[in-house]
Amino acid sequence: MSKKTDVIVVGAGMAGLSCALTLQSAGLDVVVLEAGDRCGGRVQSDRLDGYILDRGFQIYLTAYPEGKRFLDYDKLNFKKFYPGAIVRKDGRFHRVADPLRSPKDIFATLTSPLGKPADKVKVACLQKQLQMESIEDIFDKPECTTYEVLRREGFSRQMIDDFFKPFLGGIFLERDLKTSSHVFEFVFKMLALGDNVLPEQGMQAIPDQLAARLKDGTIEYGQKVEAVKDGSVVLASGKKRSAKVIVLATEQTTALKLLHKEIQANYCSQTSLYFSSDEAPLKEPCLVLNGDGDGYVNNVVVLSNVSPAYAPPGKALTVVSCVGDPPVGDAELENLIRQEMEEWFGASVKGWKHLRTYRVRYSLPAQSPTARNSTFRSYQADENLYLCGDYLETGSINGALKSGRTVASKILSEIFTKVG
């Protein structure tokens, strides 16, 4: 009789990979079943005619503690964004620099019409305050919404509307700033401590690096799990696979379905359109925000300015991102986006070539205090049946990595105490 697998991990996203790595390094026999043809979950990239298209615009924050634990930053060859943003407001572009990381642009930031000069000073003060607080202290505070904490810190409504709503809206994928103050302060701390970057070869390089550290054959692709029952998983093919422990490392909607939980998974969506052009509409590796709050565009980045590898030589790659899933078809959305971009960058936009549109329905778990407290957020679903995913921590790569490591540690301490 063949030896029973110690752990089956369902899903080769960031949480599943960190879980499998932690368990395997402790000496366990681990199998990862992945429905798709590659690892990464929501962190994936496609290649098209020499362009790298991340499946939904994403940025990595180098200060993530779990990233430092699991990733080799040097091999990812990170390329940095400008520390700040350019905001489109009332027909003009205005610079808002990180006062601690780009002191040369402090004057331009202070004199911009976005918010009040005192607001810019408050940004630096909040950064300094959060740098000194531990992550544990941040999550131990009383919880409120991001909007409430910004008002409590004294930011003007103008600064919130012109800057924070598009900036944080692009991070949390909701512009009402209902996201938990815990999540906001954690992210703002990470922004203050590190750089905003892209891997030179696209976001797919991050999960690929983790997968390469697993033993050959650990991940089995094209293995969709349809059911979980009595220590076994049933695949779409009808085949049954058994293990001492099963970990559901899928997105929350899939996990709830497999658990037959009649609980609504709250999530946030994003839509990203990729365009190629002969000339870049901007020369800087900078995030450009819609400070007017109208139209579908939330933010724009010339990705090839950040990492030239994102586009073939002599070409530029621009991504235009929308918060949510616009209620129009792809062709109509492209036309509307082009109209908005012509207002921003002029007639040259007519020469842009549309490459692809990604509508990422489940891009992040909803992270308002209400959503975080009302959804199913337990690491253990049943005896020898566990869960991991960013919805159990924070909606981020860091949260996914942490959840995988946390559930692996629970499994090792509760079930396999004599292994390793």
Rounded to an integer, the average pLDDT of 310-328 is 98
DSSP assigned state of 419? -
pLDDT class for 178, splitting at 50, 70, 90? very high
Cα gap 294→16, rounded to integer Å: 38
Rounded to an integer, the average pLDDT of 353-382 is 89
Strand spans (E) along 141-282: 196-199, 219-221, 225-229, 232-235, 240-248, 267-277
pLDDT class for 340, splitting at 50, 70, 90? very high
Question: Which is more confidently placed, 212 or 418?
Answer: 212
Q: What is the pLDDT of residues 70-125, one digit of tens each?
A: 999 999 999 999 999 999 999 999 999 887 777 788 888 888 899 899 999 999 99
The Cα-based distances of 123 to 59, 120, 250 in angstroms read 21, 5, 36
Cα gap 179→188, rounded to integer Å: 13
Would you state the pLDDT for residue 371?
81
Cα gap 234→225, rounded to integer Å: 6
Would you state the pLDDT for residue 106?
82
Q: How many CB atoms lie within 10 A of CB 240?
A: 12
pLDDT surpasses 50 at 144: yes
pLDDT class for 376, splitting at 50, 70, 90? low
Cα gap 111→64, rounded to integer Å: 32
> If we measure between CA atoms, which residue out of 51, 54, 76 comes closest to residue 314?
51
Rounded to an integer, the average pLDDT of 178-191 is 97
Cα gap 132→130, rounded to integer Å: 5
pLDDT averaged over every residue in the chain: 95
Cβ proximity of 272 and 321 under 8 Å: yes
Q: What is the pLDDT of residues 255-309, one digit of tens each?
A: 999 999 887 888 999 999 999 999 999 999 999 999 999 999 999 999 999 999 9
pLDDT surpasses 90 at 1: no
Q: How far, in whole angstroms, is CA 197 from its chain's centroid?
A: 12
Q: What is the pLDDT of residues 391-408, one digit of tens each?
A: 999 999 999 999 999 999
The pTM is what?
Answer: 0.96
Cα gap 114→43, rounded to integer Å: 33
The Cα-based distances of 244 to 89, 232, 411 in angstroms read 57, 9, 11
